[in-house]
Amino acid sequence: MIQLSETSLNNLAGLQPLRYERDQVTPGILHIGVGNFHRGHQAVFVDDLLARDPRWGIVGVSMRSADTRDRLAKQNYLYTVTERNGPHFDRRLIGAIQSILILDESRPEIMALATRESIGLISLTITENGYCHTASGELDASHPDVVHDLAHPETPRSAPGLLAALLDARMQSVTGPITVLSCDNLSANGAVTQSVVTGFARLLNPRLAAWIDENVSFPNTMVDRIVPSTTQADIADMTAEGILDRGLINTEPFKQWVIESIPFANSPDWSSVGVTLVDEVLPHETMKLRFLNATHSAISYLGLLCGHEFVHDAMADNLLYRFVKSMMDNEIASMATIPPECNLTDYKRSVLMRFANSAVPYKTAQVATNGSLKLPQRIFPTISQHLDTGTVPIQLTTIVAAWLVCLTDKSISAKFADPVSPTTIESGCHGRDDLLGELAFERGFTAAVDARYQQLQQLGCRATLQVSTRED
């Protein structure tokens, strides 16, 4: 068995090798949040980029856990990405990450990196919760971490506080403009990042806020790739082939990255490695949210109620498959605006095929996590459009009810986390803006949700779906 490391590069059979000399790579990207998604998505694009331009190596920053650093440091931050589609797979070596620094251990070094002219990009994957934002996308100044950071700006522990500190160091060093690039599944992620960072800066130092307005770009982006959590079984499978890799990533062949082409500071040539640069990200983001993400949430809550642990198992359930396909065809497509360069039929087919890929197992509970943050972006807007036309979308309404049943069923809610955890909704969901936002005051909709909720509880998931699935 070979331990993955720089000294073993010449002995790794069956892997696509690096296409660049790693000792020629210099850091150009400071990335916050070096989780599986970053390593299976952005770092892969960057690895392709390094074959063309070695100036864009990644230095990762972990705001809390040292686990990823500790696993990858033993391997010189090398790891493998395996793209799986059914029985077929391709493995490649990734060397884009040069090091990972832990915030509490290496604050001075992290701050110093932000002052380097060679660092042209600060990127982040911190999940929706990490932005400390309100529903309107502004800084939540009452968030405990934000309160701490405003009182102790030298030791920030929130993402807005850390970004403000990094940009303050850049301002003080007179280094020049920089780009901050959010890569999270967050609507208008660049605009939200700009709002929370400048909002924090205004409370801390108005001069910093003014400098950020003049010198920092916050492009909106859209990212897409299914990157499930790595399991011990995945590591064991690789070990059985003779390579020990504690940082391996399994993913699907599909990957997409769309970036708003606003003026960047010193920026990589993203388009050369398959990134799509567009004037406006919103149409692509909306299409992904309304079709792919909404269907992902739908199949996960329904899957949980039907006892399916994995998304691909739920997709193999013919009743669930027909329901989500009908939902896309009949309730989502009728309200969607499609980018002119996209083929809707092909896109819908790709969504169903990707979720059915058993070689990339994704737990229904993992997708179900934080539904109170995800559904307002993925499902509520389409529901609102239907209500504006005077119709109540029965299938989308069923998904909202399924989410509430999952929350209130202790045996299911124990499997995933959600900031909103109502213990009962027997009084109905009308007026429950903590659950449904503005939709809570739409009587026709809330009555339909309550009815579906009762059906799901009394009849069960399968019987409820049988009466709400339209055939094409």
CB 17 within 8 A of CB 9: yes
CB 349 within 8 A of CB 254: no
Is there a single domain that holds both residue 302 and residue 269? no
Of 118, 115, 128, which is closest to residue 98 (Cα–Cα)?
Answer: 118
Phi, psi torsion values for 291, nearest 5 degrees: -100, -65
CB 252 within 8 A of CB 269: no
Phi, psi torsion values for 278, nearest 5 degrees: -135, 160
> What whole-number distance in Å separates Cα of residue 294 and Cα of residue 218?
26
Expressed as residue numbers, the domain containing 131 is: 2-280
> What whole-number distance in Å separates Cα of residue 371 and Cα of residue 130?
15
> What whole-number distance in Å separates Cα of residue 9 and Cα of residue 220?
37
Of 460, 463, 369, which is closest to residue 419 (Cα–Cα)?
Answer: 369
For residue 263, the 8-state DSSP code is: P
pLDDT number for residue 169: 97
Of 249, 238, 231, which is closest to residue 97 (Cα–Cα)?
Answer: 249
CB 314 within 8 A of CB 364: yes
Our count of domains for the chain comes to 2
Decide if 472 is inside a domain.
no
Look up the CATH number of the domain holding residue 13.
Answer: 3.40.50.720
Is there a single domain that holds both residue 276 and residue 287? no
> What whole-number distance in Å separates Cα of residue 373 and Cα of residue 347?
25
Phi, psi torsion values for 262, nearest 5 degrees: -80, 165
List Cβ<8 Å contacts ≥24 apart for 468-472: 468/323, 468/394, 468/395, 468/398, 469/319, 469/322, 469/323, 469/326, 469/395, 470/326, 470/330, 470/395, 471/322, 471/326, 472/325, 472/326, 472/329, 472/330
> What whole-number distance in Å separates Cα of residue 55 and Cα of residue 27?
6
Buried b (16+ CB within 10 A) or exposed e, 374-384: bbbbbbbbbbe
Q: Which two tokens stand for residue 252?
A: 């699907």
Is there a single domain that holds both residue 212 and residue 264? yes
The CA angle 15-18-22, to the nearest 5 degrees, is 140
pLDDT number for residue 423: 62
Decide if 369 is inside a domain.
yes
Is there a single domain that holds both residue 119 and residue 155? yes
Decide if 116 is inside a domain.
yes
CB 69 within 8 A of CB 103: no
Q: Which amino acid is it at 303?
A: G
Is there a single domain that holds both residue 316 and residue 244? no
Residue written as tokens 């792919």?
292
Is there a single domain that holds both residue 238 and residue 159? yes
pTM of the model: 0.85
Decide if 199 is inside a domain.
yes
Buried b (16+ CB within 10 A) or exposed e, 255-284: bebbbbbeebbbbbebeebebbbbeebebb
Of 221, 255, 280, the residue that ends a domain is 280
Of 252, 280, 308, the residue that ends a domain is 280
Is there a single domain that holds both residue 327 and residue 364? yes
Is there a single domain that holds both residue 288 and residue 273? no
Of 258, 280, 302, the residue that ends a domain is 280
pLDDT in tens, 369-414: 999 989 998 999 999 999 999 999 999 999 999 999 999 999 999 9
Q: Widest CA span of the chain, in angstroms?
A: 66
Where on the phi/psi map is residue 280: left (φ > 0), alpha (ψ -120 to 50), or beta? beta
Is there a single domain that holds both residue 54 and residue 100? yes
Is there a single domain that holds both residue 262 and residue 394? no
Phi, psi torsion values for 189, nearest 5 degrees: -60, -35
pLDDT in tens, 286-319: 999 999 999 999 999 999 999 999 999 999 999 9
Decide if 141 is inside a domain.
yes
Helix/strand number for the chain, H first, E second: 22, 14
In a structure prediction context, what are the per-residue pLDDT tens digits for the chain, which is 472 residues long?
899 999 888 888 888 899 999 999 999 999 999 999 999 999 999 999 999 999 999 999 999 999 999 999 999 999 999 999 988 899 999 999 999 999 999 999 999 999 999 999 999 999 988 999 998 899 999 999 999 999 999 999 999 999 999 999 999 999 999 999 999 988 899 999 999 999 999 999 999 999 999 999 999 999 999 998 888 888 998 999 899 999 999 999 999 999 999 876 788 999 999 999 999 999 999 999 999 999 999 999 999 999 999 999 999 999 999 999 999 999 999 999 898 878 999 999 999 999 999 998 889 999 999 999 899 989 999 999 999 999 999 999 999 999 999 999 999 999 999 988 666 666 678 888 888 989 999 999 999 999 999 999 999 999 999 877 654 4
CB 61 within 8 A of CB 111: no
Decide if 471 is inside a domain.
no
Residue partners of 464: CB distance under 8 A and separation at least 6: 398, 452, 455, 456
Task: Cite the DSSP H helix spans in 317-415.
Answer: 318-326, 344-355, 364-368, 371-378, 380-388, 394-408, 410-413
> What whole-number distance in Å separates Cα of residue 299 and Cα of residue 318?
12
pLDDT number for residue 449: 95
Is there a single domain that holds both residue 365 and residue 340? yes
Is there a single domain that holds both residue 275 and residue 293? no
Look up the CATH number of the domain holding residue 361.
Answer: 1.10.1040.10
pLDDT number for residue 86: 86
